[in-house]
Amino acid sequence: MTSGEVRVRAGQQWWAWVAAALVVAAAAAPLVISWLTNADDQRLVDLDVYRTGGQMLLEGRPVYDFVTPAPQLLPFTYPPVAAMLAVGLAAMSWETAQWVWTAGIFVALGVTVWFAFREPLSKESLREESLGKESLGKESLGKEPLSQEAREGGAWRRYGPWAFALLMVACTYLMPIRDQVRFGQVDILLVALCLADCAAKRPRWPRGFLIGLATAVKLTPGVFLIYLLVTRQWRTLAMATFTTALLTLLPFAVIPRDASDFWFSALLDPERLGANAATTNQSVRGMLIRLYMNETLTTAIWAVIVAAIGWYGFRAARRAYQAGDTITAVALVGLMAVLLSPVAWIHHLAWVVVVLGAIVGDGRDPVRLRVAAGVWLFYVVPVPWWGVSIKAAEIPVLSPVLGKIVQNGFGLGALALVWLLGAWLPKRREAGREIGLRKRQEIS
């Protein structure tokens, strides 16, 4: 290939990525416009919490004493370092902050999709789409067949941008991702940080730093410290722990009153997070609370269940890591962050993007693709709210039983996904290897 051909193909690939980005922007536009033009007191309410926390610091007022204006009345619920980082948002106008934050959500989603679906998006996977055609065409013309490198590069230029765009659009309309835009949430950024830290092949940062940052900003990514421990990634664990500790202790030196308020008061009040019995709380504890049992009994049952889930989930994540399947390991640990937390809103299930990437694998197993499509559809439709409607219908037996199950649909679905990734997927992966081996033997 001549230098001129290289420049032409590079230019074609650049324009393809621009076109793919425009496709994603056009597909996401209805969602973005809908939530950025609705009533001001309903618009990106969680972003308002972050920004107001930063504003309190700029004004020298207590971060954990304020609530956002009515009707939301939301308090700041994050560690004090998050308020320090939110000062940048407070320095912007409210309109500018909305657009900057929304753009950041889609950048974080792009990073998550890139790493989660790296196998099917790779040149090695995409090359099979054009391998036979290009080789046959050259041979029929009496020319030298294209090299493997050229075929891989051609397939990547042809299909890569569009495959990425399709995945971005599909993931954008998952309900947990729609809620990221609706509320202006931070969860997808935390997913991107933890996933990039675990899955990057040659990171330009000390591995573990991003997990430490995510844990310091919002405590639930701390499950990755357990994952690093059980997988014996000692150097990464040391960096993640050091970063978490540094960013946790820093506020005690800079804003000591707010640091003390959070760690010794606000953190101990779960009701600051919102109504724990609300449908949007799809954690195990949330599902148990909606059974309206005695509080002590609920707590005891919850402790037993989360211990069992944690034991199974982290063991499965360790097996996936040992098998070289980092994406599945990260997906399992992300589900632990949802299920083991006392409160996990629907938008916390942004980890479903990583789950889908783990199920899809390299994209060559039709069974795994069908299962991924089913999981995607399940988390696109508002299943928990269907349960609320069934309960409201007050049909004897059906409403109180089926309604309750469907109301907990996303949480129960997350439990099913833990089993799917921990038990079904390894068997399916092994079956796929055996089928591939037999096919290669038949060809040879």
For residue range 357-416, what is the model confidence (pLDDT) as tens digits?
A: 999 999 989 999 999 999 999 999 999 999 999 999 999 989 999 999 999 999 999 999
- 3-state SS string over 119-140? HHHCHHHHHHHCHHHHHHHHHH
Q: How far apart are CA 414 and CA 337, in angstroms?
A: 11
Contact 158, 11 (CB under 8 A): no
pTM: 0.90
pLDDT tens column, 201-239: 999 999 999 999 999 999 999 999 999 999 999 999 999
Query: 328, 320, 411, 415: which is closest to 368 by C-alpha?
Result: 328
Low-confidence ranges of the chain (pLDDT < 50): 1, 3-11, 129-154
Predicted confidence at residue 307, as pLDDT, reads 97
Predicted confidence at residue 97, as pLDDT, reads 96
How many helices (DSSP H) and strands (DSSP E) are in the chain? 24, 0
Largest CA distance in the chain: 80
Q: How far apart are CA 429 and CA 21, in angstroms?
A: 32
Predicted confidence at residue 155, as pLDDT, reads 52
Predicted confidence at residue 128, as pLDDT, reads 52
DSSP string, 157-225: HHHHHHHHHHHHHHHHTSHHHHHHHHHT-SHHHHHHHHHHHHH-SS-SS-TTHHHHHHHHHSSGGGHHH
Separation in Å, CA 389 to CA 144, 382, 393, 409, 412? 65, 11, 6, 13, 18
Q: How far apart are CA 295 and CA 248, in angstroms?
A: 32
Q: What angle do CA 396, 401, 406 make, to 5 degrees?
A: 125
Looking up tokens 């997988």 gives 231
Q: Which residues contact 108 (CB under 8 A, 6 or more apart)?
A: 188, 189, 191, 192
Predicted confidence at residue 12, as pLDDT, reads 55
Separation in Å, CA 331 to CA 25, 320, 357? 26, 10, 9
Query: What one-letter code names the amino acid at 110?
Result: G
Contact 181, 188 (CB under 8 A): no
Predicted confidence at residue 321, as pLDDT, reads 97
Q: Tell me, what DSSP letter sits at residue 142?
A: T
